[in-house]
Amino acid sequence: MAVDEIRSILGNDAVSVDSHDLDEHGYSEWSTSNTDVRPVAIVRPNSTEEVSGIAKICTKYKVPMVPYGAGSSVEGNFSSPYSGVCLDLSGMNNIVAFHPEDMDVVVQAGVNWTNLNDEIKHSGLFLPLDPSPTALVGGMIATNCSGTNAMRYGTMKDYVVNLTVVLADGSIIKTRHRPRKTSAGYNLTGLFTGSEGTLGIITEATLKLAIIPESFSVAIATFSTVKGAADAAFKMMRRGVPLAALELMDDVQMKVINKSGGAGGRMWEERPTLFLKFSGSQKAVEDNIRLAQEITKSNGCHAFESANTEDQMESLWSARKQALWANLAVRPEGTQIWSTDVAVPLSRMAELIEISKERASKLGLYNSVLGHVGDGNFHQVVMYNPDVEKQRKAVSDCVDSMMVSALEMEGTVSGEHGIGLGKKHCLQKELGPATIGVMRALKETLDPHWLLNPGKVFDK
């Protein structure tokens, strides 16, 4: 019924019930949390007004609505445990207005961030986030994504000036006008950002842009232990070395890179390694590399290597860039990757990494760590066979222990992937009933029938 009515306003071509399409929008091999349930239809709106029309129909028939972007999230954020209609917003991919003179851009939710950056490159401006290259702006906002640039540039929430949001009942709101700074009224922009489509459907956004630095460079530094690497990293931060990125990969992850063929046309030392990115004027970059070398060297660094040419730069950074693909390439047949994400106060990160590595290694399973050290945020990747129930359970328990340890260290169960389906029980532990109670009250106010992406973040 609802689907027929949606067809009548969007046209036949915009509504699909093809089983392959339903599977693709209901299941993700990237995600550790999936459900067997599928949406009843995929609808492809082209405008905020069409999304509003769909929401009105879904509310009328009390049908769940699940917004979908690129499908690159990893916690089951776009799965359809209560079925319903999946709104694929990837067709809403227009750059609505580019204001280089105001250093902002207005985009529809389906715009891909790498395409956006290509389009506006000539202006010397860019959106300085770097999640999955496939990610679309709407999903990036809904999960408050980040990546390796977060240390220098912040996370997605720091770039959202305003949002156009379709509420459950189909009404359309714009959270703000277009000033870069404001203290007028409640920060609805911030409330919808990171709410994973459970409070409203983001259809359009104004995004701040940053200046593309004049010059970049890259260096790596190897250490005997993760703790040694982390200590040197924090020393650089405290000295105020202006780093553009500060990433860590453990010995296993470096082994994986070599095993997969060695990124950047070379083989790598199999030690915990810091990947440093520098940006600014050419002279500032040179100075900062020297300072970083000095600090790492006097803090237990084995080898420090910096790039002199653009090729060397690409080569050095390629190991970090290809980390996920390398993991996929070397995983034994039949295994899957459980990739999880946690963030703790800076000083506790090395300790939690060591504990987590030890626990995962006890399972006899291949596991590696890569971290956004500057944010106290890291990912552990464990390879397991999902068909062996004992293995699946063991990995799941292992990840849960990591979450508990992170919480004991006053950390969070998700630094950048969101809660989705997979971490609801962890969020309860993190925030407790009173705080979750406030979130639930807000949810019930904005979506009284729980139709917006139900089953995510927390349950009714």
Q: Which of residues 230-259 bind a copy of itself (CB under 8 A)?
A: 234, 237-240, 242
Backbone angles phi and psi of 57, in degrees to 5: -65, -45
Q: Can you tell me which of 297, 331, 407, 450 binds a copy of itself, judged by CB under 8 A?
A: 407
Q: Does 91 contact a copy of itself by CB under 8 A?
A: no
The answer for 121, left when phi > 0, alpha when psi is -120 to 50, beta otherwise, is: alpha
Q: Does 157 contact a copy of itself by CB under 8 A?
A: yes
Of 88, 97, 62, 76, which is closest to residue 28 (Cα–Cα)?
A: 76
Q: Does 8 contact a copy of itself by CB under 8 A?
A: no
Q: Is the dihedral of CA 456, 435, 339, 397 positive or negative?
A: negative
Q: What is the DSSP string of 194-230?
A: TSTTSS-EEEEEEEE-EEPPSEEEEEEEE-SSHHHHH
Q: Render the burial of 276-286: b for 16+ CB within 10 Å, e for the rest.
A: bbbbbeeeebe
Q: Does 96 contact a copy of itself by CB under 8 A?
A: no
Q: Does 364 contact a copy of itself by CB under 8 A?
A: no
Which residue's CB is nearer to a copy of itself, number 269 or number 354?
354
Instruction: Give least dist CB 412 to a copy of itself, A.
Output: 4
Of 37, 34, 56, which is closest to residue 45 (Cα–Cα)?
A: 56
Q: Can you tell me which of 427, 451, 453, 454 binds a copy of itself, judged by CB under 8 A?
A: 427
First to last CA, the chain: 25
Which residue's CB is nearer to a copy of itself, number 40 or number 103?
103
| Binding span for a copy of itself by CB under 8 A among 31-39, 152-160, 295-303, 392-400 | 152-160
Instruction: Give least dist CB 187 to a copy of itself, A.
Output: 5
Angstrom CA distances, 355 to 374, 384, 397, 419, 429, stand at 19, 19, 14, 23, 20
* Residues in region 29-88 near a copy of itself by CB under 8 A: none
Q: Does 415 contact a copy of itself by CB under 8 A?
A: yes
Q: Can you tell me which of 1, 13, 36, 183 binds a copy of itself, judged by CB under 8 A?
A: 183
| Binding span for a copy of itself by CB under 8 A among 246-254, 318-326, 330-338, 426-434 | 426-434
Q: Does 188 contact a copy of itself by CB under 8 A?
A: yes
Q: Does 179 contact a copy of itself by CB under 8 A?
A: yes
Q: Can you tell me which of 190, 262, 300, 386 binds a copy of itself, judged by CB under 8 A?
A: 190
* Residues in region 282-301 near a copy of itself by CB under 8 A: 283-284, 287, 291
Q: Does 414 contact a copy of itself by CB under 8 A?
A: yes
| Binding span for a copy of itself by CB under 8 A among 33-41, 209-217, 219-227, 300-308 | 209-217
Cβ–Cβ < 8 Å for 179, 64? no
Q: Can you tell me which of 154, 262, 300, 386 binds a copy of itself, judged by CB under 8 A?
A: 154
Reduced to 3 states (helix: H, G, I; strand: E, B; else coil), residue 249 is strand
Number of neighbours of residue 460 by Cβ within 10 angstroms: 8
Backbone angles phi and psi of 84, in degrees to 5: 100, -165
Angle formed at CA 227 by CA 232 and CA 275, multiple of 5 degrees: 55
